[in-house]
Chains A and B, each alone.
Chain A
């Protein structure tokens, strides 16, 4: 049972335009959401996160939006740059006595076209 879903395996965006990556979840106990970026042969790198008490968090070119009623979050990257080409994973966790293990989606491969 995939509790975190990224339905788009890949996405291509022109350099300078906006990249929008989507993620859906089914577990209503999730209260913290994160986006990780992964290059080949490297571990995931934390990008941005959002708590369930917020609906938006912004950090430079990256903004994450959370719609709890729809159990949906999205990552916006603007403007997109060639260095943003990577696999992006959505992850979620729930408060569990200090064990905030992450449940990941299957990833979206973002390609920025120069």
Chain B
């Protein structure tokens, strides 16, 4: 399967702990997006990479959140000092440069903060 993969699929943590999620986009897709989905809502944009450059961050991404894509391939999303309000599904999507706008999503990482 050469789709977008995310790891872990589920993460349960205690409030105040740090967590890191990984996303492996489809090979050759140079644009990568992170979204967050809470219960009863649609996915909300968090941040966007073109290759290794982080080009936009949503105001939803507080200073406790950091994302990287060091070699322009996989990406990581870290949340420091987690809060209960961070509980959500974190989705990653990728798209090739010059492609249409159809983003390919991974299965997501469900975060539960106790």
Residues of A at the B interface (CB closer than 8 Å) are 4, 32, 34, 36, 41-46, 49, 89, 91, 93, 98-107
Please state if A100 and B95 are interface contacts (CB–CB under 8 Å): yes
Decide if B97 is an interface residue (CB 8 Å cutoff). Answer: yes
Please state if B108 and A104 are interface contacts (CB–CB under 8 Å): no
Please state if B105 and A41 are interface contacts (CB–CB under 8 Å): no
A89 to B43 alpha-carbon distance, docked (Å): 9
Nearest B residue to A104 via CB reads B42
Size bin of chain B's contact surface? 20 to 34
Please state if A49 and B97 are interface contacts (CB–CB under 8 Å): no
Nearest B residue to A103 via CB reads B45
With contacts A42-B107, A43-B107, A46-B103 taken as known, whether A99 is within 8 angstroms of B55 at the C-beta atoms is yes
Q: What string of 1s and 0s marks CB contacts (under 8 Å) between B101-114 and chain A?
A: 11111111010000
Chain B at the A interface: SS class: strand
Please state if B41 and A98 are interface contacts (CB–CB under 8 Å): no
In order of increasing CB-CB distance, the 9 nearest A-B pairs are: A104-B42, A43-B105, A100-B101, A101-B45, A46-B102, A32-B101, A44-B105, A43-B107, A104-B43
Decide if B48 is an interface residue (CB 8 Å cutoff). Answer: yes
With contacts A106-B41, A106-B42 taken as known, whether A101 is within 8 angstroms of B33 at the C-beta atoms is yes
Nearest A residue to B95 via CB reads A100
